[in-house]
Structure 1
Amino acid sequence: MAEIRLNHVQKRWGSFVGVEDFHLTIPDREFLVLLGPSGCGKTTTMRMIAGLEEPSSGEIWIGDRMVNALDPKDRDVAMVFQSYGLYPNMNVYENIRFPLKVRKVPEVEHEARVMRASAMVELDDFLHRKPAALSGGQRQRVALARAIVREPNVFLMDEPLSNLDAKLRVSTRAQIKNLSHELQVTTIYVTHDQIEAMTLADRVVVMSAGVVQQVGTPMEIYDRPANTFVASFIGSPAMNLMEGAVTDGTFHGDRVAIAGLSGAAGRVTLGFRAEDAQVVDSDGQIAAPVYSMELLGDATMVTVKAGGTLVAVKAPKEFRAEIGAPVQIRIPTGICHLFDAQTGVHL
């Protein structure tokens, strides 16, 4: 059992707040992703769980133990770092085996555990090689195997894919997803990449400036962002956001008018996703010139400039238009999000 509880955890350095009042329970076997831009507090939160940083206040529980006073080695967690952290003088087999030697696991168990971990990440053909003879993706798999071999209660992964190229990130992401299913171990994963968060997580914690903005499943966060920060951070492309005002149920903004909106009045921010709107020949609520066209393979991303705002819409892959040509965009009322213009909170 490795439920993790963070009870009002804070981290401060003088007047600077790294993490503010983080309060969350992570159930046993959940894959939780901490997501946010650089400096938002996600890695600091993970380091406090690992014991590499001491919280300024609050309690951290792993299972039935409060671990605030425990050294990292006594918390039964395994970390996978962005930088791999492999020993260059050891081959892959010895790198994977090293945690077993440090923790004084009986030697008769070593080979079976190393081979099991190696097989899980498909490294059996590379066990004799040194790290210098491996690709970036293979080195990351060694780091994963070294964490697996410990059989910990908790996995902590700090941006493990950020040093890999785009193709390797996709394949290694799939491997981590499969490993999570096989191992059934509580995992906390830190990333700034919202695609990693959406594809890997059972739940996502979105953070900004040390403060938790929203906690939910990937679909909850995507479909109903709590505020404009989450809306602008989640999605590829991010949600379109337009400033304006609602009067008598109609939103008026720069080159846009959308009728049939209820539940809000006054200054608001309107949000909608690129895939929910359509490029049409007539009767659109936005009329604006094409700013750019990007062929995505399965669709064409059309970006228009409505006043000072760039608006992205997914059109069929066959769609073509010249830059500067006028187009119209239809936005169904039912897919619109309204946010408070001052606070950014979803209305």
Structure 2
Amino acid sequence: MAEIQLRNISKRWGAFVGVHKFDLTIPDREFLVLLGPSGCGKTTTMRMIAGLEEATEGDILIDGKRVNDLDPKDRDVAMVFQSYALYPNMNVYENIRFPLKVRKTDSGGHDERVRRAAEMVELTDFLHRRPAELSGGQRQRVALARAIVRQPNVFLMDEPLSNLDAKLRVSTRAQIKNLSHELKVTTIYVTHDQIEAMTLADRVVVMNKGIVQQVATPTEIYDRPANSFVAGFIGNPAMNLMEGELRGGTFVGKNVRIPGLKGPDGAVTLGFRAEDARIADKGEIAAPIYSLELLGDATMITVKAGGALVSIKAPKDFRAEIDDPIQAGIPAAICHLFDAKTGERIDP
């Protein structure tokens, strides 16, 4: 059981700021995802919690105890890395058991704990094999079992699925979700994949350039992004963002005119989700089709509007050709407004 408090932690290397004043409380048993593009500071934040990086300033508390000066081995955290870091000369059983030997725990309970951890990640039939005889997904599950067998207070997972192919990512993601539910251990998970973040997290921390952009549940982040960066990063596809002006409650941009909005006149960025728009006989966007993509369950149409490529989800039986003129209904109710300069959300 562990509550983690990060009190204004920062990490700097000379003039370069990797993480800037990260302040957050992570309740016991929460599954928190640190999400952002490469170089945003998410892995650095995790490494400071683990003790693999020293915080330049700020305090890290685990269960109310300041751990800044503790070695990694004394923080009772278990890490799962992007690289599996398995011992090639040991079989799966010994790889899973290794943390227990290093920590000199009572050997009498080793076998039960190893087999229980292996069962949780469906590796019972592979305990005799060596890493070279396993697939990438199986190796990642060995790494998960090795963390589980420790029975730590905190799990730290650094992009554990990024080396897997698309199908394996889906199945392993489901296993991690189930393990989180079963183990009920505070977990911090780092990823650049917003689908992983949305499907796994209790809360998501979106980061960019070392700064926290938004902390909220996946639903809140999807429905009410705090700024245009979050809006353009979350979603598949990401939210459409168009530049234009608000004039008396009407958004005006190239090939687009949307009335019924609330906000101050001037330059704004308008956003909407592809699945919220619709193809119409008469709509707020009128433009030729730029591209068409059949997704199986839908057809994704792309047009140029508001100085950007804009995606609109149509039914799977929609038929048209590139350069055909279309119109799309973009009612004010589905729109989000952001300040053109700061990117901050504009609420009515």
* Alignment partner, residue 241 of structure 1: 241
Rounded to whole Å, the distance in 2 between the matches of 1:225 and 1:264 is 19
Match of 1:329 in 2: 328
Once residues 262 and 227 of structure 2 are traced to their aligned partners in structure 1, the CA distance between those partners, rounded to angstroms, is: 18
Structure 2 partner of 1:296: 295
Deviations 1:153-200 (A, max 9, x none): 000000000000000000000000000000000000000000000000
Deviation of 1:65 (Å): 1.1
Matched, 1:169 2:149: no
Aligned to 2:345: 346
> 1:36 is matched by which residue type in structure 2?
G
In structure 2, stretches of 5+ residues that fail to align are none
**Aligned positions of 1:245-264 closer than 5 A:** 245-264=245-264
Query: Do the aligned residues in 1 keep the contact of 2:242 with 2:307 (CA within 8 Å)?
Result: no
Give the secondary structure class of the aligned counterpart of 1:162. Answer: coil
Paired letter, 1:267? A
In structure 2, distance between residues paired with 1:288 and 1:192? 33
**1:264 CA displacement:** 2.8
Question: Where has structure 1 moved over 3 Å in runs of 4 or more?
Answer: none
Identity %: 77
1:48 pairs with 2:38: no
Distance 1:183 1:308 in 2: 48
8 Å Cα contact 2:284/2:331 also seen in 1: no
Amino acid at match of 2:218: P
Q: Secondary structure at the match of 2:344?
A: coil
In the alignment, which residue of structure 1 is the partner of 2:75? 75
Aligned counterpart, 2:131: 131
TM-score, scaled to structure 1: 0.99
Residue 108 of structure 2 corresponds to 108
- Point out where structure 1 has 5 or more consecutive residues left out of the alignment: none
SS of aligned partner of 2:345 = coil
Q: What RMSD, in angstroms, separates the aligned Cα atoms of the two structures?
A: 0.7
**Are positions 1:193 and 2:175 aligned together?**
no
8 Å CA contact retained: 2:253, 2:305: no
Match of 1:215 in 2: 215
Amino acid aligned to 1:19: V
| Aligned-partner Cα distance in 1 for 2:246–2:306 | 18
Q: How far has the Cα of 1:263 moved from its partner?
A: 2.6
Partner residue in 2 for 1:287: 286
CA distance in 2, matches of 1:265, 1:178: 49
Following the alignment from structure 1 to structure 2, what is the Cα–Cα distance between the partners of residues 221 and 271?
Answer: 14
Q: Secondary structure at 1:175's aligned position in 2?
A: helix
Bigger drift between 45-54 and 319-328 goes to: 319-328
Contact preservation (8 Å) 2:299, 2:317: yes
Q: Distance in 1 between matches of 2:106 and 2:338?
A: 59
For residue 298 of structure 2, what is the amino acid of its counterpart? A
Distance in 2 (alpha carbons) for counterparts of 1:332 and 1:7: 42
* 1:30 corresponds to: 30
Structure 1 residue matching 2:69: 3-state secondary structure = coil
Amino acid paired to 2:301: V
Distance 2:150 2:36 in 1: 29
2:31 and 2:201 in contact (8 A); partners too = yes
- What secondary structure does 1:163 align onto? coil
Please report the TM-score for the alignment, with normalisation by the length of structure 2: 0.99
1: CA distance between counterparts of 2:160 and 2:293? 30
Counterpart of 1:5 in structure 2 is 5
Give 3-state SS (helix, strand or coil) of 1:221's partner: helix
The structural deviation recorded for 1:33 is 0.1
- The alpha-carbon deviation at position 307 of structure 1 amounts to 6.0
Query: What residue number does 1:314 align with?
Result: 313
Distance in 1, Cα, partners of 2:232 & 2:173: 23
Partner amino acid for 1:134? L
Please give the alpha-carbon distance, in whole angstroms, between the structure 2 residues aligned to 1:3 and 1:47.
17
